[in-house]
């Protein structure tokens, strides 16, 4: 499988990231558009995953104080279950370690996805709460 993961560096790449998020979250999980696309997009690094030169996944990362907030992790349905989400997260975590700018990575996981993040070393650090009418828990990972 030919996989390429890069930071979105131009408007066309950003649109591909948004298109994936719209398919996965807005259309697939009924997240309201006004909650999915927000002001944090402008202050985040966006990652774009391609499979065989076609967009297949995305995530964004914001640096807040001494931690990185990983958000909007999405893989198109036809590419799920192939380890692509893991590859995307490993790339993000490698970048964070190389930058040496943060001590921790945090994310808000949908409850069903917690085992996925636990396999990458993330630990649950909150009770269940609702976000966009979907149950979530916060998770954290020591990066350094």
Give, as one character, the DSSP assignment of residue 66.
T
* Residues 74-95 pLDDT 10s: 999 999 999 999 999 999 999 9
Q: How much is the pLDDT for 91?
A: 96
Pairing mode of beta strands 129-131, 3-7: unpaired
Structural domain boundaries in the chain: 3-142
Domain 3-142, classified CATH 3.30.70.100, yes or no:
no
Q: How much is the pLDDT for 99?
A: 83
* Residues 11-62 pLDDT 10s: 999 999 999 999 999 999 999 988 899 999 999 999 999 999 999 999 999 9
* Residue 138: C-alpha distances to residues 5, 71, 105, 109, 128 (Å): 25, 11, 11, 6, 8
Taking the C-alpha atoms of residue 133 and residue 115, their distance in angstroms, rounded to an integer, is 20
Confidence (pTM): 0.95
CA proximity to 129, closest of 143, 113, 108: 108
């Amino acid at each position: 499988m030919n996989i390429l993961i890069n930071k979105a560096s131009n408007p066309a790449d950003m649109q591909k990231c948004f298109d994936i998020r719209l398919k996965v979250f807005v259309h697939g999980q009924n997240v309201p558009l006004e909650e999915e696309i927000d002001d944090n997009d402008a202050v985040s690094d966006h990652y774009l995953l391609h499979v065989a030169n076609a967009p297949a996944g995305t995530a964004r990362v914001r640096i807040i104080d001494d931690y990185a907030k990983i958000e909007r992790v999405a893989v198109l349905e036809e590419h799920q279950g192939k380890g692509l989400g893991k590859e995307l997260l490993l790339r993000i975590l490698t970048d964070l370690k190389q930058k040496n700018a943060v001590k921790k990575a945090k994310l808000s996981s949908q409850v069903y996805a917690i085992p996925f993040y636990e396999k990458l070393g993330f630990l649950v650090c909150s009770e269940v709460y609702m976000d966009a009418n979907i149950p979530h828990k916060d998770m954290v990972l020591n990066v350094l």
